A = this chain, B = another copy of it.
């Protein structure tokens, strides 16, 4: 496997498209970050991804994780790589500097995260859960809790994990059964069984900090009666040293389709000592601080998988000699031309590029909104980032999986054989569509909480702004048509949802896809506008044209489908299935 971090594209997006160098000086926390410093960080992040993480990717899949008597062994090659990743400060890149973070812009962190996901998704999962847990502790913890946990988590001495799901309930957190009983010392005794706990137990570091959802005695029913607890593997003494082993253990690990180097545990909490994080019965909101971070990060996992898969398939297509170009031999002295001469192979590679490059631009845009929301206290930017988070999670991971499958197709039979690497990328990418809330859950979040709840106000404002952007003349009309379509479709859904409770869910996935396509159209039209007059810029303009010619038209069909009624979706009786 070979991977090269997309440094040129990163610089284009940050400095030519979004002009971060003009935005950051207006944010006091970022005033120190010069273009040179940022470029150096990107280059070093790319090096870590390509030289430290990538070499552990295939071996980690082959070795996998093993469980014995509650102890989980991760792939041998992961230990040193995780140490190098965390000691380099990469986990705390956008973290709070007061507790060991680097305080860098989220926009930059999005770029670096994508690269780390490309390098090794299984390994970086231990990192992303640590970062997310830190965010929740930083936002909801007491000063003592922050001081106790954050520096050691950002530095990589300890990792984090998130314990939500219970076997009988899945996504339906309201029916969870785990209990938290108050102890005399102000802590709680946590009892229950959680499943699908990524990084819940492993041997990479000395301590693992779980954030666990559980119910206090007499708590209200449903999701309003859930509290969040910090439940470390080893209790921490006041001086920061490790104390006794806490009362939980891994009951087993899952045998998964992919991300086999990532240990997914069933965790049994048997009166384990937990510490309330945030307020009683407000655990879901505190968990969502972590979850929203993770959702964007898992979107970036999809993007990273798509980029890795693209690079593998482009290299294969260039090297592999098969057949002749329809326009006549391009390599007349060789036995055959390269796969690159075949238009259908080009179609697959161009589709991957069009997804990946627009996705990267979109990720940076969401990062920018998060920075503006957090550091410039820009409420509109904050609301817009919330609107876009489910889109980023689902659309990146869907397109990343599609791209990986296309890359596998470029490889032909070799794509199905383990040694060539790309089949692992497909298996690894698949999970991003499922965990952190399935993409169906993201689509419901988008249509329900983010569009219907405010009558579309946040969305319409965003559509307006997209329409007023400076874009390439060649794509202005097509973009406007796409924006008009999104308005029509949104109007119609808002209108019809009043009388048809099933309508939002019946069209939610197609609506998210239509929204994603429209955002990508906006970004391609903008990128084509600012792309420089060189080879790189020319590749942007050609890919933009490919996107408008061949990918955006799917939005027309999506509109027609969404405008149909929900009755056929819901028409069968349960017995007819």
Would A413 and B434 be within 8 Å (CB), given that A256-B418, A542-B572, A553-B561 are in contact?
yes
Taking the complex as formed, is A116 at the interface, i.e. its CB lies under 8 A from any CB of chain B? no
User: Which A residues between 405 and 426 are near B, CB-CB below 8 angstroms?
Assistant: 405, 408-409, 412-413, 415-419, 423, 426
| A447 shortest CB reach to chain B, Å | 10
Report how far A440 CA is from B156 CA in the complex, Å: 46
The answer to whether B350 touches A171, judged by C-beta atoms less than 8 angstroms apart, is no
Taking the complex as formed, is A535 at the interface, i.e. its CB lies under 8 A from any CB of chain B? yes
Name the B residues within 8 Å of A96 (CB-CB): none
Taking the complex as formed, is A40 at the interface, i.e. its CB lies under 8 A from any CB of chain B? no
| A468 shortest CB reach to chain B, Å | 26
The DSSP consensus for interface residues of chain A is: helix
Taking the complex as formed, is A433 at the interface, i.e. its CB lies under 8 A from any CB of chain B? yes
| A493 shortest CB reach to chain B, Å | 12
Name the B residues within 8 Å of A573 (CB-CB): 535
Interface string of A533-577 (1 = CB under 8 A from B): 001001100110110011101111111110011111111111111
| A213 shortest CB reach to chain B, Å | 16
Taking the complex as formed, is A347 at the interface, i.e. its CB lies under 8 A from any CB of chain B? yes
Q: Which of A27-35, A43-51, A312-320, A454-462 contacts B (4 or more CB under 8 A)?
A: A312-320
Taking the complex as formed, is A85 at the interface, i.e. its CB lies under 8 A from any CB of chain B? no
Q: Which of B545, B567, B569 sits near A571, CB closer than 8 Å?
A: B545
Taking the complex as formed, is A155 at the interface, i.e. its CB lies under 8 A from any CB of chain B? no
Name the B residues within 8 Å of A344 (CB-CB): 440, 443-444, 505-506, 508-509
The answer to whether B426 touches A257, judged by C-beta atoms less than 8 angstroms apart, is yes
The answer to whether B434 touches A412, judged by C-beta atoms less than 8 angstroms apart, is yes
The answer to whether A434 touches B418, judged by C-beta atoms less than 8 angstroms apart, is no
Taking the complex as formed, is A242 at the interface, i.e. its CB lies under 8 A from any CB of chain B? no
Q: Kindly name the residue among A504, A545, A559 whose own CB sees the greatest number of chain B CB atoms within 10 A.
A: A545
The answer to whether B434 touches A257, judged by C-beta atoms less than 8 angstroms apart, is no
Would A171 and B322 be within 8 Å (CB), given that A440-B345, A568-B549 are in contact?
yes
Report how far A435 CA is from B417 CA in the complex, Å: 12
Interface string of A481-501 (1 = CB under 8 A from B): 000000000000000000001
Would A577 and B416 be within 8 Å (CB), given that A344-B443, A506-B344, A569-B550 are in contact?
no
Name the B residues within 8 Å of A320 (CB-CB): 170
Taking the complex as formed, is A453 at the interface, i.e. its CB lies under 8 A from any CB of chain B? no
Q: Which of A67-75, A296-304, A333-341, A385-393 contacts B (4 or more CB under 8 A)?
A: A333-341
Taking the complex as formed, is A9 at the interface, i.e. its CB lies under 8 A from any CB of chain B? no
Name the B residues within 8 Å of A554 (CB-CB): 554, 557, 561
A-B contact pairs, 12 of them (CB 8 A): A257-B418, A344-B440, A346-B569, A346-B572, A348-B440, A349-B577, A409-B440, A545-B567, A546-B571, A550-B568, A556-B556, A556-B560
Q: Which 6 A-B pairs have the closest CB atoms?
A: A343-B505, A549-B564, A553-B560, A542-B571, A343-B506, A553-B557
